[in-house]
Amino acid sequence: MPRKDDPERVEQAPRLARPVDEVPQGSLSALRREAAGCRRCPLWRPATQTVFGAGPARAQVLLVGEQPGDREDLEGKPFVGPAGQLLRKALVEAGLAPQSLYLTNTVKHFKFQPRGKRRLHQRANAAEQAACRPWLAAELDRINPDIVVALGAMAAQTLFGPGFRLTHQRGQWQRLGPHTQALATWHPSAILRMRSPEREAAYAQLLADLRRLHDPPAG
């Protein structure tokens, strides 16, 4: 995958909040161990476990989703449910090796509403998202990727600011730092909720955005 040597104008995104003092400054493994005991918001109480990021510590590309689902909560790994399966399918079609990428979420605990034997997904609120933001900032610091992909509106607004509109700015390069470019695209779970022909159109857009990762703009 080319490094960022090709000229293209990009927008400057606001800097993600840096980790606060209590977030460890050691290795990615140390960060993962510390996150397992996170009590920054109430979401840890009903959740099975923290779902931290997974992938190579030196990954060139980091993908940020929104929050874990039921399967992710049970297995402790990101993107292992239906949305993750669709994402991996799209990555392969786009010529990207899923095992070479780092996958994580904006929020690290599953938020849900019990409904009988089922656990229905609920969107994390602003305070819960803010509580998790230092973990994502620390992951970005440790991995220092060339490219960051925000999957969905929550991830995009965390990275690029609350004014970011996915429907209008999807696929546009943003600069996260001197050597990191980023773009936002559809979250696969949103695509799964769509009906034809919108689903096929959104999946095609996701593929097109992922293929752009082969040719990032200059840093």
In a domain, 219, yes or no: no
Residue 3 has pLDDT above 60, yes or no: no
Here the CATH number for the domain that contains residue 80 is 3.40.470.10
Model confidence pLDDT, tens digit, residues 84-132? 999 999 999 999 999 999 999 999 999 999 999 999 999 999 999 999 9
| Number of domains comprising the chain | 1
Q: What is the extent of the structural domain holding 100?
A: 11-213
Q: The whole model's pTM is what? A: 0.90
In a domain, 56, yes or no: yes
In a domain, 169, yes or no: yes
In a domain, 6, yes or no: no
In a domain, 90, yes or no: yes
CB 73 within 8 Å of CB 81: no
In a domain, 202, yes or no: yes
In a domain, 3, yes or no: no
- What local confidence, expressed as pLDDT, does residue 26 receive? 80
Mean pLDDT on 169-182:
94
In a domain, 122, yes or no: yes
